[in-house]
Amino acid sequence: MCEAHPEIERLGAGVVAVGTGADFQARRLMEQGLRGLVVPFPCLVDPDANLYRVLGIGRVGWSQWLRPDVLARYVRAWRSGARPGRVAGDAHRLSGVAVVDPDRRVRSLHRSATVGDYPPVDDVLAVLRRA
Amino acid sequence: MIDAGDLLPPVELHTATGETIELGAFLERRLLIVALRYYG
């Protein structure tokens, strides 16, 4: 999402990341970045999973890690240089992506079905391009 | 739990410096919320 941030801004939208981890990890992403890429938008922390409950983003068991599609994503991420750091949040928590209008109306919502199930960036940009 | 088309209720989160903040503070324009599994 960092790479797409200029286009997202051009489309008139802002971005926030939310994680269940520790605030020092969020600060590090915003100040030092990851693999040379400083996160250009706010990284917030949700230790009580308030947002996850509201959006209906659930949790999974360790068995999900053995799914072939999950392993394939993990290998792909590893080959691209991603290295998981210390898990300070809820490792069982799934992810999600939402687009919310200024009047708080949820325009789109993607709840991941399993680990690493993020929508393609192009799909997210398509939602933002719609008036 | 809400769905697309619903209104997002107030959600309290924390900033990276530990302050409590309501997500609506970022809604001066359309907002893309990326809920990650965790920060690692």
Chain A positions in Cβ-Cβ contact with residue B22 (cut-off 8 Å): none
Chain B positions in Cβ-Cβ contact with residue A93 (cut-off 8 Å): 37-38
Q: CB contact, 8 Å: A39 with chain B?
A: no
Nearest beta carbon to residue A21 from set B6, B7, B40: B40
Model pLDDT for residues B1-40, shown as the tens digit of each residue: 999 999 999 999 999 999 999 999 999 999 999 998 766 6
* Average pLDDT per 10 consecutive residues for chain A, totaling 131 residues: 91 95 88 83 95 94 76 78 70 93 97 88 94 59
The residue extents of the domains of chain B are 1-40
- A56–B2: do the CB atoms touch at under 8 Å? yes
Vertex A29: Cα angle to A18 and A123 (nearest 5): 50
Predicted confidence at residue B26, as pLDDT, reads: 97
Model pLDDT for residues A62-71, shown as the tens digit of each residue: 777 777 887 7
Question: Number of structural domains, chain A?
Answer: 1
Instruction: Give the CATH number for residue A93.
Output: 3.40.30
- A14–B26: do the CB atoms touch at under 8 Å? yes
d(C-alpha A26, C-alpha A85), whole Å: 12
Structural domain of A97: 5-129
Q: CB contact, 8 Å: B27 with chain A?
A: yes
Tokens 């959600």: give the residue: B11
Instruction: Give me the helices (H) in A1-131, please.
Output: 5-10, 23-31, 50-55, 68-79, 121-129
- B8–A86: do the CB atoms touch at under 8 Å? no
- A8–B33: do the CB atoms touch at under 8 Å? no
